[in-house]
Amino acid sequence: MVHLWIPDYQSGKGGIQVFTNYFIRALEQLLPDSAISIFSKNDTSLPPLSARISPTRFRSAGWWPAALRTSVFSAQIVRRALAERPDLVISTHVNFTPVARWLRRLAGLRYVTVAHGVDVWGVRSGSLPQALRGAERVLAVSHFTRDRLLEDMKLDPQRVAVLPNTFDPEQFQPSPKPRYLLKRHGLRPDQPVILTVTRLASAERYKGYDQILQSLPAIRAAVPNVRYVLAGRGPDRPRVEAMIRELGVGEAVTLAGYIPDHELCDYYNLCDVFAMPSKGEGFGIVFLEALACGKPVLAGNKDGSVDALLNGELGVLIDPDSRAAIEEALIAMLQRRHPLAILNDPARLRRQVIEAYAFPQFVKILGGHLRESGLAPTF
């Protein structure tokens, strides 16, 4: 039996939720004979689950008032863990690991956790490093995150493994620019489009959309009819709007708002370059999705994006703090004269990203880690 602790399954739609969904699917494949119980902290409704996971094995503390939620969730996971004594506890967020460490000391339960990125970077003291040291395995989503863990928390390198993110190539297929989106945003079919998909929140400004907005005047000078489509919603929007007015680039920017899942693939296909010169990506699933649609990708060279783009094999990595580098790269990419040849070969981009990161790879890597720690497939 496995207990899986997750922040949420569907109440938010960020990288960690997407990762959690794949993680659950992979566990189902790897552990066909084990019961899997899911404990969610924030979900307010029962998510669509696969046939293998009984709804009675899904518990959530999400309907409790926010002030009580952490306590209720902790009580739930401790109570069930002590009652059922699972063979393994897996936490898809490091913040739950201090509870797991306590359970280990009390009842000898073993646990594994997933470290994404900003959740662990720069943490050097407190209960978290200790809790991670007690884990059977810490699965970092990128080499970058792993290196930071080893450096900041001085973890045992043997116990920190890399489990890169994954994506579904079936859901992300190349297509011509979808006409309904061209119409929705008043774009011409031949008009060059730069796309970023992110939440607009002050905590997410590290994604680099500010930098792209500031680069736009220079990019427009070289590519006059360029349009920057910034997709996503959040409380940072008024500030972004003000910044667009200040820069006088209103005509060249579309704030597309929230993108439902079923339109995401169409948005990738709308663009000519997917750009997110972020400084804080744990990995960046969006890069994989854009690549699967055959799109050239621009990313920062100071975070987990480096993994997603295979150290620059699949896309352009630049210094996210250098506006000049962003301008230069985007202009070259839009004018199709960037020296990286693969950028102009959509079929190859798709093929290579599938080879590196499609779901079967993910299952294989996770299975390997579980086996190495003597955790699968025997429990």
* Residues at the interface with other proteins (CB under 8 A): 10-11, 43-49, 51, 54-56, 63, 170-171, 175-176, 178-180, 183, 258, 260-262, 266, 269
Distance CA 115, CA 30 (A): 20
In degrees and rounded to multiples of 5, residue 6 shows phi and psi of -130, 150
Shortest Å distance, C-beta 10 to other proteins:
5
Task: Give me the least distance between CB of 208 and other proteins, in Å please.
Answer: 27
Q: What angle do helix axes 323-334 and 209-222 make, rounded to 10 degrees? A: 50
CB of 183 to other proteins, least distance (A): 8
Q: How far is the CB of 41 from other proteins (least distance, A)?
A: 14
Nearer to other proteins, 263 or 319 (CB): 263
Query: Can you tell me whether residue 244 is helix, strand or coil?
Result: helix
Q: Which is nearer to other proteins, 105 or 262 (CB)?
A: 262
In angstroms, the CA 51 to CA 191 distance is 45
Identify the CA nearest to 346 among candidates 336, 332, 356, 359: 336
Q: With respect to other proteins, which residue has the nearer C-beta, 124 or 184?
A: 184
What H or E segment, with its residue span, contains residue 221? helix 209-222
Closer to other proteins at the Cβ: 46 or 324? 46
| 6 or 153: CB nearest other proteins | 6
305 with 315: CB under 8 angstroms? no
Q: How far is the CB of 37 from other proteins (least distance, A)?
A: 13
85: left (phi over 0), alpha (psi -120 to 50) or beta: left
